Amino acid sequence: MSLTIISVRDAKKSGVRSMKGVRYSASNAAFYYQMMRALVEYMQEEFDRTVMHGMGKFRDESPNERYKAMLALFNKKLRAKYSAKVIEKLVRRALKRSSVYTQREFDRRLKSFGIDLSKSDVMKRYSSYMSTAVMENVMLVKNLRDEQSKRLQSIVLRGMREGIPSTRLRGDIQHALQIGKKRATTIARTETHKLTQQLADARAMDVGMKRGVWRAMMDNRTSEQHARFNGKPFNLEKGLWDPKTRSWNWPGRRPNCRCWTEYIIPGV
Protein backbone atom coordinates (compact mmCIF):
# COMPACT_ATOMS: atom_id res chain seq x y z
CA MET A 1 0.00 0.00 0.00
CA SER A 2 1.39 3.35 -0.94
CA LEU A 3 0.21 6.34 0.94
CA THR A 4 1.77 8.94 -1.34
CA ILE A 5 -0.12 7.84 -4.44
CA ILE A 6 -3.53 8.11 -2.87
CA SER A 7 -3.11 11.11 -0.66
CA VAL A 8 -0.88 13.68 -2.29
CA ARG A 9 -3.32 15.03 -4.88
CA ASP A 10 -6.12 15.48 -2.38
CA ALA A 11 -3.82 16.92 0.21
CA LYS A 12 -2.27 19.34 -2.28
CA LYS A 13 -5.65 20.47 -3.48
CA SER A 14 -6.68 21.46 0.01
CA GLY A 15 -3.22 22.77 0.87
CA VAL A 16 -2.89 20.34 3.78
CA ARG A 17 0.61 19.16 4.51
CA SER A 18 0.15 17.40 7.78
CA MET A 19 -2.34 15.22 9.56
CA LYS A 20 -3.66 15.99 13.02
CA GLY A 21 -2.32 13.63 15.69
CA VAL A 22 -4.37 11.47 18.01
CA ARG A 23 -4.87 12.77 21.55
CA TYR A 24 -5.46 10.24 24.29
CA SER A 25 -8.93 9.48 25.52
CA ALA A 26 -9.58 10.61 29.09
CA SER A 27 -12.31 8.00 29.47
CA ASN A 28 -9.84 5.22 28.60
CA ALA A 29 -7.44 6.56 31.24
CA ALA A 30 -10.34 6.65 33.72
CA PHE A 31 -11.21 3.04 32.89
CA TYR A 32 -7.62 1.97 33.58
CA TYR A 33 -7.55 3.99 36.81
CA GLN A 34 -10.80 2.40 38.08
CA MET A 35 -9.28 -1.02 37.57
CA MET A 36 -6.20 -0.12 39.63
CA ARG A 37 -8.26 1.69 42.25
CA ALA A 38 -10.28 -1.51 42.76
CA LEU A 39 -6.99 -3.35 43.42
CA VAL A 40 -5.79 -0.74 45.92
CA GLU A 41 -9.15 -0.67 47.70
CA TYR A 42 -9.40 -4.44 47.81
CA MET A 43 -5.99 -4.55 49.48
CA GLN A 44 -7.09 -2.02 52.05
CA GLU A 45 -10.26 -3.98 52.89
CA GLU A 46 -8.50 -7.32 52.98
CA PHE A 47 -5.76 -5.88 55.18
CA ASP A 48 -8.40 -4.56 57.55
CA ARG A 49 -10.18 -7.93 57.66
CA THR A 50 -7.14 -10.17 57.88
CA VAL A 51 -4.61 -8.15 59.86
CA MET A 52 -5.99 -5.03 61.56
CA HIS A 53 -9.16 -6.69 62.80
CA GLY A 54 -7.21 -9.52 64.39
CA MET A 55 -4.74 -7.22 66.11
CA GLY A 56 -7.00 -6.13 68.90
CA LYS A 57 -8.15 -9.66 69.59
CA PHE A 58 -5.26 -11.10 71.55
CA ARG A 59 -3.15 -10.00 74.46
CA ASP A 60 -0.37 -12.62 74.36
CA GLU A 61 3.04 -11.99 75.77
CA SER A 62 4.64 -12.50 72.37
CA PRO A 63 2.12 -12.00 69.61
CA ASN A 64 4.79 -11.70 66.91
CA GLU A 65 4.13 -15.16 65.54
CA ARG A 66 0.45 -14.38 65.17
CA TYR A 67 1.17 -11.08 63.41
CA LYS A 68 3.45 -12.87 61.03
CA ALA A 69 0.81 -15.52 60.36
CA MET A 70 -1.79 -12.81 59.66
CA LEU A 71 0.54 -10.97 57.29
CA ALA A 72 1.30 -14.24 55.50
CA LEU A 73 -2.42 -14.95 55.17
CA PHE A 74 -3.00 -11.46 53.78
CA ASN A 75 -0.29 -12.01 51.17
CA LYS A 76 -1.76 -15.36 50.23
CA LYS A 77 -5.23 -13.90 49.74
CA LEU A 78 -3.86 -10.97 47.75
CA ARG A 79 -1.90 -13.21 45.41
CA ALA A 80 -4.91 -15.44 44.88
CA LYS A 81 -7.22 -12.55 44.03
CA TYR A 82 -4.68 -10.53 42.01
CA SER A 83 -2.34 -13.14 40.56
CA ALA A 84 -0.03 -12.31 37.65
CA LYS A 85 -2.55 -13.98 35.36
CA VAL A 86 -5.47 -11.89 36.64
CA ILE A 87 -3.43 -8.69 36.38
CA GLU A 88 -2.48 -9.49 32.81
CA LYS A 89 -6.12 -10.05 31.91
CA LEU A 90 -7.13 -6.71 33.44
CA VAL A 91 -4.25 -4.85 31.79
CA ARG A 92 -5.09 -6.34 28.40
CA ARG A 93 -8.68 -5.20 28.79
CA ALA A 94 -7.66 -1.64 29.66
CA LEU A 95 -5.03 -1.36 26.90
CA LYS A 96 -7.29 -2.93 24.29
CA ARG A 97 -9.64 0.02 24.69
CA SER A 98 -6.79 2.43 23.93
CA SER A 99 -5.68 0.33 21.00
CA VAL A 100 -9.14 0.23 19.42
CA TYR A 101 -9.61 3.94 20.08
CA THR A 102 -6.24 4.95 18.59
CA GLN A 103 -6.73 2.84 15.49
CA ARG A 104 -10.22 4.22 14.94
CA GLU A 105 -9.17 7.85 15.44
CA PHE A 106 -6.06 7.52 13.28
CA ASP A 107 -7.98 5.81 10.46
CA ARG A 108 -10.74 8.41 10.64
CA ARG A 109 -8.16 11.13 10.00
CA LEU A 110 -6.65 9.18 7.11
CA LYS A 111 -10.08 8.71 5.62
CA SER A 112 -10.42 12.47 5.24
CA PHE A 113 -7.55 12.16 2.72
CA GLY A 114 -9.39 9.41 0.90
CA ILE A 115 -7.42 6.52 2.38
CA ASP A 116 -9.43 3.63 3.75
CA LEU A 117 -7.50 1.27 6.00
CA SER A 118 -10.47 -0.61 7.34
CA LYS A 119 -9.81 -3.65 5.16
CA SER A 120 -6.02 -3.60 5.43
CA ASP A 121 -3.96 -6.37 7.01
CA VAL A 122 -2.89 -6.34 10.62
CA MET A 123 -0.08 -3.86 10.92
CA LYS A 124 3.30 -5.21 11.94
CA ARG A 125 4.69 -2.41 14.06
CA TYR A 126 1.30 -1.69 15.57
CA SER A 127 0.89 -5.16 17.08
CA SER A 128 4.48 -5.35 18.28
CA TYR A 129 4.14 -2.04 20.17
CA MET A 130 0.93 -3.37 21.65
CA SER A 131 2.49 -6.56 23.03
CA THR A 132 5.44 -4.63 24.51
CA ALA A 133 2.99 -2.26 26.19
CA VAL A 134 1.10 -5.18 27.75
CA MET A 135 4.33 -6.57 29.20
CA GLU A 136 5.41 -3.19 30.57
CA ASN A 137 2.01 -2.46 32.09
CA VAL A 138 1.70 -5.87 33.74
CA MET A 139 5.01 -5.09 35.43
CA LEU A 140 3.79 -1.64 36.54
CA VAL A 141 0.57 -3.00 38.06
CA LYS A 142 2.43 -5.86 39.76
CA ASN A 143 4.81 -3.28 41.25
CA LEU A 144 1.85 -1.19 42.40
CA ARG A 145 0.40 -4.30 44.12
CA ASP A 146 3.71 -5.26 45.76
CA GLU A 147 4.72 -1.76 46.85
CA GLN A 148 1.28 -1.12 48.31
CA SER A 149 1.44 -4.45 50.15
CA LYS A 150 4.88 -3.58 51.55
CA ARG A 151 3.63 -0.17 52.62
CA LEU A 152 0.74 -1.69 54.59
CA GLN A 153 2.90 -4.39 56.14
CA SER A 154 5.62 -2.02 57.23
CA ILE A 155 3.05 0.07 59.12
CA VAL A 156 2.06 -2.98 61.15
CA LEU A 157 5.64 -4.13 61.64
CA ARG A 158 6.63 -0.71 62.92
CA GLY A 159 3.57 -0.72 65.18
CA MET A 160 4.66 -4.08 66.62
CA ARG A 161 8.21 -2.91 67.18
CA GLU A 162 7.22 0.34 68.85
CA GLY A 163 4.16 -1.02 70.63
CA ILE A 164 1.73 1.34 68.91
CA PRO A 165 -1.92 0.31 69.42
CA SER A 166 -3.74 -0.71 66.24
CA THR A 167 -6.26 2.12 66.62
CA ARG A 168 -3.41 4.60 66.20
CA LEU A 169 -2.22 2.89 63.02
CA ARG A 170 -5.48 3.61 61.21
CA GLY A 171 -4.34 7.06 60.16
CA ASP A 172 -1.14 5.68 58.63
CA ILE A 173 -3.13 3.06 56.77
CA GLN A 174 -5.53 5.68 55.40
CA HIS A 175 -2.51 7.68 54.25
CA ALA A 176 -1.07 4.60 52.49
CA LEU A 177 -4.35 4.23 50.61
CA GLN A 178 -4.03 7.79 49.31
CA ILE A 179 -0.46 7.13 48.13
CA GLY A 180 -1.60 3.98 46.31
CA LYS A 181 -4.43 5.83 44.58
CA LYS A 182 -2.14 8.67 43.54
CA ARG A 183 0.31 6.19 42.04
CA ALA A 184 -2.58 4.52 40.17
CA THR A 185 -3.65 7.89 38.73
CA THR A 186 -0.15 8.61 37.40
CA ILE A 187 0.16 5.14 35.85
CA ALA A 188 -3.27 5.33 34.20
CA ARG A 189 -2.73 8.79 32.75
CA THR A 190 0.87 8.33 31.62
CA GLU A 191 0.45 4.84 30.20
CA THR A 192 -2.78 5.59 28.35
CA HIS A 193 -1.29 8.65 26.69
CA LYS A 194 1.99 6.87 25.95
CA LEU A 195 0.27 3.89 24.35
CA THR A 196 -1.91 6.13 22.18
CA GLN A 197 1.17 8.03 20.95
CA GLN A 198 3.18 4.85 20.34
CA LEU A 199 0.36 3.16 18.46
CA ALA A 200 -0.48 6.23 16.37
CA ASP A 201 3.21 6.61 15.43
CA ALA A 202 3.41 2.88 14.64
CA ARG A 203 0.33 3.08 12.44
CA ALA A 204 1.72 6.16 10.68
CA MET A 205 4.97 4.30 9.91
CA ASP A 206 3.03 1.21 8.83
CA VAL A 207 1.20 3.27 6.18
CA GLY A 208 4.44 4.85 4.94
CA MET A 209 4.68 8.11 6.85
CA LYS A 210 8.22 8.97 7.87
CA ARG A 211 8.15 12.30 9.64
CA GLY A 212 6.20 14.12 12.27
CA VAL A 213 6.11 17.48 14.03
CA TRP A 214 6.37 17.73 17.82
CA ARG A 215 3.32 19.37 19.38
CA ALA A 216 3.28 20.48 23.02
CA MET A 217 0.39 21.93 25.03
CA MET A 218 2.49 25.07 25.64
CA ASP A 219 0.90 25.98 28.96
CA ASN A 220 2.51 26.47 32.36
CA ARG A 221 2.71 22.71 32.91
CA THR A 222 4.77 22.10 29.75
CA SER A 223 8.41 21.29 30.55
CA GLU A 224 11.24 23.53 29.35
CA GLN A 225 12.53 20.74 27.11
CA HIS A 226 9.19 19.96 25.47
CA ALA A 227 8.45 23.66 24.98
CA ARG A 228 11.74 23.84 23.03
CA PHE A 229 10.64 20.81 20.95
CA ASN A 230 7.26 22.31 20.01
CA GLY A 231 6.96 22.69 16.24
CA LYS A 232 10.17 20.79 15.45
CA PRO A 233 10.04 18.12 12.74
CA PHE A 234 11.49 14.68 13.49
CA ASN A 235 11.92 11.21 12.07
CA LEU A 236 9.20 8.90 13.44
CA GLU A 237 11.58 5.98 13.68
CA LYS A 238 14.48 7.76 15.36
CA GLY A 239 12.71 10.42 17.38
CA LEU A 240 13.86 13.98 17.96
CA TRP A 241 17.50 14.53 18.90
CA ASP A 242 18.10 16.94 21.77
CA PRO A 243 21.70 18.20 21.68
CA LYS A 244 21.28 19.75 25.12
CA THR A 245 20.56 16.45 26.88
CA ARG A 246 22.13 14.27 24.16
CA SER A 247 19.05 12.07 23.90
CA TRP A 248 16.42 10.90 21.40
CA ASN A 249 12.87 11.82 22.32
CA TRP A 250 9.31 11.10 21.25
CA PRO A 251 6.16 12.98 22.21
CA GLY A 252 4.09 11.50 25.02
CA ARG A 253 6.55 8.94 26.33
CA ARG A 254 7.69 10.55 29.60
CA PRO A 255 5.60 10.55 32.81
CA ASN A 256 2.96 13.31 32.76
CA CYS A 257 3.93 14.36 29.22
CA ARG A 258 0.93 15.50 27.21
CA CYS A 259 2.71 16.11 23.89
CA TRP A 260 1.64 14.46 20.65
CA THR A 261 2.80 13.93 17.07
CA GLU A 262 1.41 15.75 14.06
CA TYR A 263 2.08 13.66 10.94
CA ILE A 264 3.72 15.05 7.84
CA ILE A 265 2.13 13.69 4.68
CA PRO A 266 4.90 12.35 2.46
CA GLY A 267 5.42 13.91 -0.94
CA VAL A 268 3.50 17.12 -0.26
- Give the interface with Zn ion as residue ranges (CB under 5 A): 226, 257, 259
In the three-class reduction of DSSP (H, G, I as helix; E, B as strand; rest coil), residue 172 is classed as helix
Q: How far apart are CA 248 and CA 250, in angstroms?
A: 7
**Minimal distance in Å, beta carbon 151 to Zn ion?**
30
CB of 194 to Zn ion, least distance (A): 11
C-beta of 240: minimal distance to Zn ion in Å? 11
Q: Please say which residue, 177 or 257, places its beta carbon nearer to Zn ion.
A: 257
The DSSP code for 49 is I
Q: By C-beta, is 189 or 226 nearer to Zn ion? A: 226
Q: Shortest gap between Cβ of 234 and Zn ion (angstroms)?
A: 13
SS3 260: strand
| Contact between 263 and 16 (Cβ < 8 Å) | no
Say if residues 87 and 138 touch (Cβ distance below 8 Å): yes
> In the complex with Zn ion, which residue's Cβ is closer, 176 or 259?
259
Q: Which lies closer to Zn ion via its Cβ, residue 74 or residue 263?
A: 263
92: number of Cβ within 10 Å: 15
Q: What is d(CA 3, CA 204) in angstroms, rounded to the nearest whole number?
A: 10
CB nearer to Zn ion: give 149 or 190. 190
State the minimum distance, in angstroms, from the CB of residue 239 to Zn ion: 13
Residue 18: phi, psi to the nearest 5? Answer: -140, 160
In the bound state with Zn ion, the residue whose beta carbon lies nearer, of 118 and 245, is 245
DSSP codes joined into one string, 69-99: HHHHHHHHHHHHHT-HHHHHHHHHHHHHHHH
CB of 231 to Zn ion, least distance (A): 13
